[in-house]
Structure 1
């Protein structure tokens, strides 16, 4: 992105964007290391790592449904609740699943895949995917 180009609506730019991507890399790293420490197997990790992306199928129903499903599957709140339940109930599988989920979210953020706007898959809180930022009209009240 051009350092002087205006961001897409709601997109973070410049240093804050770099910090958020670095934060994603750290989340991915720590979640992966914690998963290993919890005794998880790498075959299981690899098999489940991309599961949150099944939410992309909701884009078949349109960009609004796709963004809603994607964002639900890519926010830290859901795996946080799962990890809490796993810790409180001493359920190792729930904790390992949450760590894999966090690793996925972290990898996505590190690569620049942010939470989606209903205007289209490429419109994220970390900027427009696939190239330079484009200027969008203000998000309508229905966003």
Structure 2
């Protein structure tokens, strides 16, 4: 089952790359921004509860989809880009087993323990 989930996440990651090429940005912009959602880990400098909340905000696919749709609705390429990057990053993380965090420990995720 884990392989099937990883394959599904890989397909979503590839979808984010595909959608990116509809935007008017150079290819290297995707590479430059793909790790930026990890800024959500800064909340762990305060405590694990806040860290889990900020991490999950930046890694929740629903948030990514809402941001992306808002960008398409209001014709704002910056929001479109942000949504695609958030979505691609969340998929990439889940390929490697990094899921949404529980507040007790960074290594305790919805996909199991790291």
TM-score (norm. length: structure 1):
0.73
SS at match of 1:37: coil
Superposed, which structure 2 residues align to 1:93-132 within 5 Å?
93-129=78-114
Greater relative contact order (CA < 8 Å, ≥ 6 in sequence): 1
2:57 to 72, 78, 81: 72
Cα distance in 2 for residues equivalent to 1:80 and 1:57: 23
Tell me which stretches of 4 or more aligned residues in structure 1 moved more than 4 Å: none
Larger Rg, first or second structure (1 or 2): 1
1:58 to 26, 43, 52: 43
CA RMSD of aligned residues (A): 1.4
Gaps of 5+ in 1: 1-14, 130-143
1:38 aligned to 2:23? yes
Cα distance in 2 for residues equivalent to 1:19 and 1:91: 35
CA offsets 1:31-75 (integer angstroms, 9 cap, x no match): 111102333322211221111101111111111111111111100
- Bigger mean CA deviation after superposition, 42-51 or 56-65: 42-51
Gaps of 5+ in 2: none
> Greater helix share, 1 or 2?
2
TM-score (norm. length: structure 2):
0.90
